[in-house]
């Protein structure tokens, strides 16, 4: 089975999933607006739009800011759960031995079969937010949508490797508890999902700079935080994401190889 076949299997997996799980499809379509309503509702309950602008230090529209946050947070959670947590799902379903014995590296199977789902659902969620962006900025929303689309695609590259590293760790330690269920929110908070990372204390900023999601959030919010975003800022963030993609994907490839060797040697088959 080649890489094209893995990619094609990912497409058909999601098509049949949507066809046979209409209630899940409806919940997925409602999810972005439920997340946005929760964040904006909590913000209005404990503060105001003006206090948010004062804390951020910029005349930013909170709605635009949190639309980009919600979009990137939901797509990032999806990557970390569907790639990083897939080892657990395969183990619980009893299919992990088949994945380990497949001709391709486990990380390659997880990533190639997941990429179609990521691209399709991420842009569905972006399309859901277009009416709201148009209400806030009119035709100016095209720039925001462009930066968010770029963040979706560029942020995917390092996050796939980052999540595959987690998958290899879960494979080696035979983790059965939901570590990812509490680790994912921590990663999102340190990535600046709710406030820009430059507002964090020093120790948190150091951790934040190591997370690919931090730069994905910055790229998605670029037009919201800067009144006149320039190409230089966007290219700088994209360059960092590409560098992280090379680093984390190389590390994940090596880590998954070691995890497979230990799993096979330890009797996971």
3-state helix, strand, coil in the chain (%, to 5): 85, 0, 15
Distance CA 121, CA 117 (A): 6
Asked whether 236 and 150 are in contact (CB, 8 A), the reply is no
Percent of the chain with pLDDT over 90: 5
Mean pLDDT of the chain: 81
In this prediction, residue 226 has a pLDDT band, given cuts at 50, 70 and 90, of low
CB neighbours of residue 263 within 10 Å? 21
Contacts of 125 (CB under 8 A, 6+ apart): 32, 71, 74, 75
Percent of the chain with pLDDT over 70: 92
User: Considering only CA atoms, which of 206, 111, 118, 235 is closest in space to residue 162?
Assistant: 111
Asked whether 231 and 140 are in contact (CB, 8 A), the reply is no
Tell me the range of 19-23, 56-60, 144-148 where mean pLDDT is highest: 144-148
User: Considering only CA atoms, which of 249, 14, 12 is closest in space to residue 121?
Assistant: 14
Tens of pLDDT, residues 135-161 = 888 887 888 888 888 888 888 888 888
The token pair at 201 is: 């204390």
């Amino acid at each position: 089975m080649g890489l094209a076949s893995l990619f094609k299997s990912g497409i058909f997996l999601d098509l049949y999933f949507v066809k046979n799980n209409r209630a899940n499809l409806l919940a997925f379509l409602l999810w972005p607006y439920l997340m946005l309503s929760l964040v904006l509702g909590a913000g209005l309950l404990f503060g105001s739009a003006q206090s948010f602008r004062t804390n951020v230090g910029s005349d930013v529209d909170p709605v635009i800011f949190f639309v980009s946050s919600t979009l990137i947070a939901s797509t990032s959670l999806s990557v970390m759960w569907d790639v990083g947590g897939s080892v657990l799902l395969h183990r619980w379903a009893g299919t992990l031995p088949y994945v380990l014995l497949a001709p391709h590296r486990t990380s390659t199977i997880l990533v190639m079969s997941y990429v179609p789902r990521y691209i399709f659902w991420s842009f569905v969620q972006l399309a859901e937010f277009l009416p709201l962006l148009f209400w806030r900025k009119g035709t100016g929303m095209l720039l925001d949508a462009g930066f968010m689309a770029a963040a979706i695609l560029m942020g995917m590259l390092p996050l796939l490797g980052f999540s595959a590293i987690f998958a290899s760790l879960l494979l080696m330690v035979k983790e059965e508890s939901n570590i990812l269920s509490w680790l994912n929110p921590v990663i999102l908070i340190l990535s600046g999902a709710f406030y820009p990372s430059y507002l964090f204390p020093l120790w948190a900023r150091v951790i934040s700079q190591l997370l690919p999601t931090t730069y994905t959030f910055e790229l998605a919010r670029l037009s919201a935080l800067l009144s006149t975003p320039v190409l230089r800022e966007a290219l700088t963030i994209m360059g960092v994401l590409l560098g992280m993609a090379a680093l984390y994907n190389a590390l994940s490839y090596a880590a998954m190889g070691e995890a497979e060797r230990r799993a096979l040697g330890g009797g996971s088959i």
